[in-house]
Structure 1
Amino acid sequence: MRQAGVVIVAAGRGTRMGTSESKQYLHLDGKPIIVHTLEVFQKEPLVSEIVLVTGQQDIDRCRQWVDSFGLSKVTRVISGGAERQDSVYKGLQELTAEWVLVHDGVRPFVSGALIRSCFEGALDSGASVLAVPVKDTVKVADAEGYVSATPDRRSLWAIQTPQAFRRSELMRAHEQAKADGFTGTDDSMLAERLGMKVKLVDGDYSNIKITTPEDLDYAAFIRSKRERQGEDK
């Protein structure tokens, strides 16, 4: 069975949550959100190693959680960089696996099935991302705030994580972006700049990124629903 390393990015502070505590360390059902996320990858057989990238000031408590929650696949807890892009690259340098999955620390509802689907998509095409069709009509605005275009909704997808790549190729994409002074909004954007074809793999609308207080409320609802249905994360 082919295996992959994982970079979990949890170095951001975040301002939209409106709390003094970083969103990835807020508690959900008695545990920090980041621990819920790590536990999903810990249980997944295809994952061979995990690097957790966090803030310098949070390294010690994250290492304590790694020990206390038995997260044995977490091989390193390191400090991030100035931007998310810098943090991912630092994580990539600590891995040894040929293939890598990059995941947001505040997406705790990813499932083993989604992780496997994303990884298989990368094995098939070279790079893949989880995504879901956009439900709403999307407008493009001009500089004055007027509608300039209405894209066909059928062509629009909301991108999630994990995103999967051959590690050497993703590192090359990051290095080229840095050389060009380019900052992307996700890792697949950097790969696209090198001409890599990135496959869209069906994600799940419950694979939310917890960013605002409303997301926390929805996360509690998802968690309770899964418990009632006896679903495994």
Structure 2
Amino acid sequence: MKTVAIVLAAGSGSRMKTDVKKQYLDIGGKPLIFYSLKAFEESIIDDIVLVVSRGDVDYVKKEIVEKYGFDKVKAVVEGGLYRYHSVRLGLEAADVDCDYAFIHDGARPFIDNDIIMRALHAVKEFGACVVGMPAKDTIKIADDKGFAESTPNRDKVWMVQTPQVFSYKTILELYRRLDREEGELMAKGINITDDAMVCEYYSDQKIRLVEGSYNNIKITTPEDIAVAETILREQS
């Protein structure tokens, strides 16, 4: 069995309102992307493919991969315009003999070995899984005019995180199909927001929900940096 982690670090981080791309922001004395790479480096994962912004490949190889000794990083590749472009490019750069692909947002620094192992067990048993946590808050579905339309049963609502894990060959083929049919989806107004959605749209594969962690947050805004610093202090 061979596994690969596709770590996405190609976003612009516009909501962070800083000149430094959020994946390189300092958190606890290390760049944000360091933490998820470290988690995969020290796990059962065999290979890591790091997807970065255009023009950042050389910088990342020297200042991240080589500097911190991430030996499992087998490729650093440029991403695309949208997240789903970057995922496909990362998958294309992986070893064709991989069995399972873990697709992870590099802006989620608090992935840990327990999450990785739960996801691995689930994908082996069910064929596909996504990490997440049950919603703590009541969720409202809004109508087109911004009014509350319905209230789903909170017991059945999950906040989806990453990694999202699939058979490598299956998810690669689904992303290739998405690439071919991208224009049709855009014409229909379909916005692909995560990997599970690609699987749901193009296949009958059921996706197992796997417990992640409420600490497995995505760093998006300046306020998230403060939360991340607090989590790091608690973990140290």
TM-score (norm 2): 0.93
Aligned counterpart for 2:230 among listed residues 202, 212, 221? 221
Q: Which moved more, 1:213-222 or 1:137-146?
A: 137-146
Secondary structure of the residue aligned to 1:118 is helix
Q: Could you tell me which runs of 5 or more consecutive residues in structure 1 were left unpaired when the two chains were aligned.
A: 228-233
Report the equivalent of 2:86.
87
Aligned residue identity for 2:23: Q
Offset of residue 189 of structure 1: 0.6
2:91 partner letter = L
Structure 1 match to 2:196: 188
Aligned-pair distance for 1:3?
A: 3.4
Q: 2: CA distance between counterparts of 1:56 and 1:82?
A: 10
Q: Give the equivalent residue in structure 1 for 2:20.
A: 21
CA displacement at 1:141 relative to structure 2: 1.1
Structure 2 letter corresponding to 1:208: I
Matched pairs, number: 225
Q: How does 1:51-130 map to 2 (within 5 A)?
A: 51-64=49-62, 65-96=64-95, 97-130=98-131
Amino acid at match of 2:195: D
Q: Could you tell me how far 1:21 is from its partner in structure 2?
A: 1.1
Q: Please give the secondary structure, in 2, of the residue aligned with 1:165.
A: strand
Equivalent position of 1:230 in the other structure: none
The 3-state SS of whatever aligns with 2:159 is strand
Post-superposition offset of 1:184: 1.1
Counterpart of 2:214?
205
How many Å apart are 1:178 and its aligned residue? 2.5
Superposition deviation, residue 197 in structure 1:
0.6
1:192 CA displacement: 1.0
Give the whole-Å Cα distance in 1 for the aligned partners of 2:20 and 2:67: 21
CA offset digits 1:142-179 (Å, max 9, x no partner) = 12211111111111100010111111100121122223
In the alignment, the residues of structure 1 paired with residue 65 and residue 158 of structure 2 have an alpha-carbon distance, to the nearest angstrom, of 34
Please state how far the C-alpha of 1:22 moved relative to its aligned partner. Answer: 1.0
What is the letter of the counterpart of residue 129 of structure 2?
A: S
User: Take 2:222 and 2:123, find their aligned partners in 1: how far apart are those partners?
Assistant: 34
The aligned residue for residue 32 of structure 1 is 31
Matches within 5 A, 1:134-149: 134-149=135-150
User: 1:56 aligns to what SS in structure 2?
Assistant: coil
Query: Which residue identity lines up with residue 14 of structure 1 in the other structure?
Result: G
Q: RMSD of aligned C-alpha atoms?
A: 1.0
Aligned to 2:88, the other structure's residue is in SS state helix
Shift, 1:104, TM fit = 0.4
TM superposition score normalised by structure 1: 0.94
1:178 maps to what in 2? 179
Partner AA of 2:199 in structure 1: A
- Work out whether 1:150 is the aligned partner of 2:159: no
Q: 2:188 — aligned with what?
A: none
**Letter aligned with residue 124 of structure 2:** L
User: Counterparts of 1:128 and 1:142 in 2: how far apart (Å)?
Assistant: 30
SS in structure 1 of the partner of residue 107 of structure 2: coil
Give SS of 1:159's match. Answer: strand
Question: What SS does the aligned partner of 2:55 have?
Answer: helix
